[in-house]
Every structure is written in C-alpha cells, then in structure tokens.
C-alpha cells in the first residue's frame, strides 16, 4: 500500500545537477545532529531526477512519484526510488503533509534523523490519546505540536487540525472525531492519526485503558519538563543551532563580566595568603575523602568574618578580567563554561561574628560584601525555607544563593544555555564543598530554592537575574580535620 501523504524535502534543502547523471542533495547548513548533510547520487535516470525535483518543490505522493519513474524509466528504477525515499526519511530530510480538500491540514517536519520512523496505520477498532509529553506552542508564524519522545514536529496548517489535537486529550478513535468534524473525510482523519502515531505524539490505548507511557517503568519516572529539557539541550532530537553561536552579537550589547556594585554600604573581607595555604592545607585526597554534607551548626561559636572572607576568596574571587574577541571573560577559582561566570553570590546572613545580619551581594573583583538590606521579613523567609527543606532544628548561619545573570550565557550560547548554567552551579557547589572541608566548616548544598522570593529580596528582574542554586555554611561542633582559626 502506498504512503498516502504528500512527500517533500525539508525547506532549504537544495538539489544540484553535477552532470547529466549525477546530483548532489545538500542541507542548508551543517546540523550537528544530521552528519550526512551532503549526499551525492550517481546514475540518476530522467524519471528519478524528475521525482527528486518534485520533492524540492511542492512534493507529491509516493504513488505519483512511483508512476512518474515507472512511466519514464521503467520498472527497474522503482527499487532505487524506494530505497532513496527510505534513506531520505531516515536522514530526517522528508516532510509528510496531510491534505484536506486539497489544502494542507498538517505537516510532519523532521527535526533530526530517525532510523526508527515508519508509518504506523491507525485502525478503527483502537482508541488513541495524545502523549502526556506532547505540547503545543507558537513557533514564529506557525502553531506546532512537539514531544521529547519524537524526532519531528507537527505543523498545524488549519484550525481543524487544532480541533483534532484538542479532541485527542481524551481517548478517541478516528471515527469518533469524524462525527465531530464532518468537513474532513474519515480517511483524512485516519491518516492524521497514523502520522502522529508514527511520530510518537499519539499513543495507542490498550483494552485495559493503559498506554505505553503508564506501563513503561522508564518513561513513567520522567516528568514532562525534565524530559523536554533533556531532549532540547542535547543534540539528537532537534535541529536548533547549538553552542557558542553569538545569536545576539551586533543586536544587543553584551553584559559586563563584573556586575556593578549594588550599594555603597560595603564590608571589606579578609584575604588569606594563598601561598601559605599551599603549604599548610590538608592533602587534597584527605579533603576529597572527608567531604560530606553537614547541616548542623555550632551556634555557640558561629562562623567568623575571617572564615567567611577566606571561604569566598578561595571559591569565587575574580583573579583577572580579559577581553577575548567579542567577549569579556574572567578567571576565577572554579571552572565555568566559556569563562562567562554568570553566577553571582548573594548571602543571607543569619549569624556571623563581626558581620551584621542582613542580605548582601558578594563583589568578587574587590572581594567585598555590598549590603542590600537588613534582615527583613523576606530574608527571614529565605532562611526559613532552607531550614524547612533541610528538616533541621536550627536556621543556617549563612545561606549563599547563586543567582545567574542569564544574558552572560544567552548572549553567546543557543540550545544549551540553561543547561550550561546548571552545570556551572554543580561545579561551584563542589568547589565550595572542598574549600569548606579544608577549612573545617559545616556546609551543604540545597536542592531547591524560591526564585521569585529571591528576586523580590534582591530587587532583580526574575527573567534577568534570579536564583539557580543554594549552599549553606557555618561553624562545626567538632574540630575534626585539624581546623584553623
């Protein structure tokens, strides 16, 4: 049985005639997730060439393409047509369009190569439902349906396609929907079902009411946003630009490497002698092996300003600011993607010897604390939420909040920007753990935080700069690893 859809190449794919019987098919750019972006075909017959040219324009059904090759070249060339149609599909080059009354209803556009793609025919005795991972969004001037389970996106070309998608929020067979949208033929709705079933946007409902997503132990453990984030920040299931592309170069001014000081109420912090620390610090392996989360603090002898100054100096100070082509980057004690150092440290100080309680921003270039506010109700709430999350009896002595200035990353990177930020948070957390262990301080990373409350407290715009990680710090009950004062 012939594929009933209109087949066409993705927009931007070109066909070049190298000679009378040789052509080259090329993608518009070099996508990381389609390694075979240039394909040279030799021995091209006239009918096969005519079929390929149709694929680069309005497209045609498989039946029409087959008839064209059969009438022009004869039966012997048909296997070649079918083999290349399958190859093009696996490479993610072929779009499938459904027509309703000769007008496009929807088009399935490949986002990446998919060796598994094959048309699965929907049957009238089965019910189907949208995948819980499917979502609809506006992309430029198009309305699209996507899923992290799929290597394709469905472009909705008509309101009736949207109506079908709406109906599929509940289990339906295609005859159910035909009764509700009579202007579309039953075969067309069946083909619509088949297409999105093939793309894993639609799921077959079993007799007991289950679908694969509820019986597959792996899939059932994924939350929607986690799987979407994973699929869109790794190559393989999308065709978006990836990496350091500078999407806003020449359009938006870059963000400076060092944030402007938030106030003139400044505390100069203690700077340790790094050369002496190289001689007196505990061995690295001992520090690494003894690192652990400690959430109980010694409030009889709280952390001191000197300890806090040393801790921040060793973990987060700016060593150097460098002009690097279009970028302004810096060097700090921990590694960071692209040396952008988008993370800013804010301190909610509950108790620290010689430093008043309150809310501060750490200026890493001058190694200073800039006071934002006293210990307000919002600051108390930030501390309380950490206390509740930790299930401890006492408030943390110091809560360090990592906030990202998103434009430092977004200005350079596409697709992986937020994923890079989270990786940078992990790197800084480990650096803080190791330094606090070396200094014999109690510390722990925190798994959650209130980004809205932080933005309100720090007086930042949620979309410009807000919290992405938290770390608590304080003094220990026991001396442990040869603590220094």
pLDDT of 414 above 50: yes
CATH number at residue 153: 3.90.930.70
Q: What is the largest CA-CA distance in the chain?
A: 93
479 located within any domain: no
Residues 62 and 149 in one domain: no
Among 91, 112, 147, residue at a domain's last position: 91
- Token pair, residue 197, equals 């079933």
- Quick: pLDDT tens for 57-108: 989 999 999 999 999 999 999 999 999 999 999 889 999 999 998 899 999 9
User: Residue 392 — pLDDT band, cuts 50, 70, 90?
Assistant: low
Q: Residue 19 has what pLDDT?
A: 78
Residues 404 and 338 in one domain: yes
pLDDT of 146 above 80: yes
Contacts of 133 (CB under 8 A, 6+ apart): 147, 148, 149, 213, 222, 224, 227, 228
pLDDT of 32 above 60: no
Residues 226 and 282 in one domain: no
238 located within any domain: no
Residues 216 and 269 in one domain: no
pLDDT of 259 above 90: yes
Among 60, 91, 122, residue at a domain's last position: 91
What is the number of residues in the chain?
A: 485
Query: Per-residue pLDDT averaged across 316-335, rounded?
Result: 95
User: Residue 30 — pLDDT band, cuts 50, 70, 90?
Assistant: very low
Query: Per-residue pLDDT averaged across 163-186, rounded?
Result: 92
Residues 16 and 126 in one domain: no
Pairing state of beta strands 320-324 and 103-110?
A: unpaired
66 located within any domain: yes
Residues 61 and 153 in one domain: no
Residues 214 and 249 in one domain: no
User: Residue 165 — pLDDT band, cuts 50, 70, 90?
Assistant: very high
The rounded mean pLDDT for the chain is: 92
Among 72, 91, 110, residue at a domain's last position: 91
Q: Which domain holds residue 313?
A: 243-474
Pairing state of beta strands 465-474 and 442-446?
A: antiparallel
183 located within any domain: yes
Residues 389 and 250 in one domain: yes
Query: Per-residue pLDDT averaged across 11-33, rounded?
Result: 77
Query: Per-residue pLDDT averaged across 260-289, rounded?
Result: 96
Residues 196 and 128 in one domain: yes
Residues 115 and 74 in one domain: no
Written in H, E and C, the secondary structure of the chain is: CCCCCEEEECCCCEEEEEECCEEEEECCCCCCCCCCCEEEEECCCHHHHHHHHHHHCCCEEHHHHHHHHHHHHCHHHHHHHHHHHHHHHHCCCEEEEEEECCEEEEEEEECCCCCCCCCCCCCCCCEEEECCCCEEEEECCEEEEECCCCCEEEEECCHHHHHHHHHCCCCECHHHHHHHCCCCCHHHHHHHHHHHHHCCCEEEECCCCCCHHHHCCCHHHCCHHHHHHHHHCCCCCCCCCCEECCCCCCCCCCCCCCCCCCCCCEEECCCCCHHHHHHHCCCHHHHHHHCCCCCCCCCCCCCEHHHHHHHHHHHHCCCEEEEECCEEEEECCCCCHHHCCCEEEEEEECCCECCCCEEEEEECCCCEEEEEECCCHHHHHHHHHHHHHHCCCCCCCEEEEEEEECHHHHCCEECCHHHHHHHHHHHHHHHHHHHHHHCCCEEEEECCCCHHHHHHHHCCCCCCEEEEEEEEEECCCCCCCCCCC
8-34: buried (b, 16+ CB within 10 Å) or exposed (e) per residue? Answer: bbbeebebeeeeeeebebebeeebbbb
Cα(261)–Cα(41) distance, rounded to whole angstroms? Answer: 61
- Token pair, residue 391, equals 């299930």
306 located within any domain: yes
CATH number at residue 23: 3.90.930
Q: Residue 483 has what pLDDT?
A: 40
pLDDT of 35 above 50: no
User: Residue 394 — pLDDT band, cuts 50, 70, 90?
Assistant: confident
Residues 334 and 387 in one domain: yes
96 located within any domain: no
Residues 138 and 165 in one domain: yes
Domain count, the chain: 3
């Amino acid at each position: 049985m012939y594929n009933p859809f209109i087949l066409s190449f993705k927009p931007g794919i070109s066909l070049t005639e190298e000679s009378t019987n040789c052509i080259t098919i090329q993608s518009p750019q070099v996508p990381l997730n389609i390694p075979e972006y240039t394909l040279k075909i030799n021995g091209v017959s006239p009918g096969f060439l005519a079929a390929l040219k149709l694929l680069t324009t309005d497209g045609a059904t498989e039946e029409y393409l087959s008839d064209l090759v059969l009438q022009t070249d004869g039966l012997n060339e048909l296997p070649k047509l079918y083999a290349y149609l399958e190859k093009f599909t696996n490479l993610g080059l072929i779009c499938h369009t459904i027509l309703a009354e000769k007008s496009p209803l929807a088009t399935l556009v490949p986002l990446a190569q998919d060796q598994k793609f094959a048309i699965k025919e929907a049957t009238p005795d089965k019910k189907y439902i949208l995948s819980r991972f499917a979502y609809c969004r506006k992309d430029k001037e198009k309305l699209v349906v996507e899923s992290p389970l799929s290597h394709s996106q469905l472009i909705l070309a008509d309101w009736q396609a949207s109506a079908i998608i709406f109906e599929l929020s509940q289990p339906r067979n295609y005859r159910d929907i035909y009764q509700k949208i009579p202007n579309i033929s039953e075969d067309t709705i069946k083909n619509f079902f088949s297409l999105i079933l093939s793309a894993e946007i639609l799921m077959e409902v079993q007799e007991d009411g289950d679908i694969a997503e509820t019986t597959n132990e792996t899939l059932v453990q994924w939350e929607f946003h986690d799987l979407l984030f994973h699929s869109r920040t790794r190559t393989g299931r999308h065709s978006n630009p990836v990496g350091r592309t500078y999407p806003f170069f020449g359009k938006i001014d870059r963000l400076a490497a060092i944030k402007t000081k938030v106030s003139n109420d400044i505390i100069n912090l203690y700077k340790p002698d790094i050369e002496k620390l190289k001689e007196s610090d505990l061995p690295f392996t001992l520090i690494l092996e003894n690192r652990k989360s400690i959430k109980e603090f010694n409030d009889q002898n709280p952390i001191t300003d000197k300890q806090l100054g040393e801790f921040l100096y060793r973990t987060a100070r700016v060593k150097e600011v460098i002009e690097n082509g279009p970028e302004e980057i810096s060097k700090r004690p921990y590694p960071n993607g692209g040396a952008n150092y988008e993370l800013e440290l804010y301190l909610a100080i509950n108790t620290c010897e010689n430093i008043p309680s309150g809310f501060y921003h750490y200026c890493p270039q001058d190694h200073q604390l800039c006071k934002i506010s006293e210990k307000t109700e919002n600051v108390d709430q930030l501390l309380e939420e950490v206390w509740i999350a930790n299930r401890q009896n006492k408030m943390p002595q110091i809560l360090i909040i990592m906030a990202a200035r998103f434009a430092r990353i977004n200005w350079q990177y596409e697709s992986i920007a937020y994923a890079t930020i989270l990786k940078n948070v992990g790197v800084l957390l480990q650096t803080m753990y190791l330094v606090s262990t070396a200094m014999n301080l109690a510390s722990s990373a925190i798994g959650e935080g209130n980004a809205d409350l932080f933005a309100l407290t720090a007086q930042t715009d949620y979309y410009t700069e807000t919290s992405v990680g938290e770390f608590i710090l304080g003094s220990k009950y026991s001396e442990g690893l040869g603590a220094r004062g």
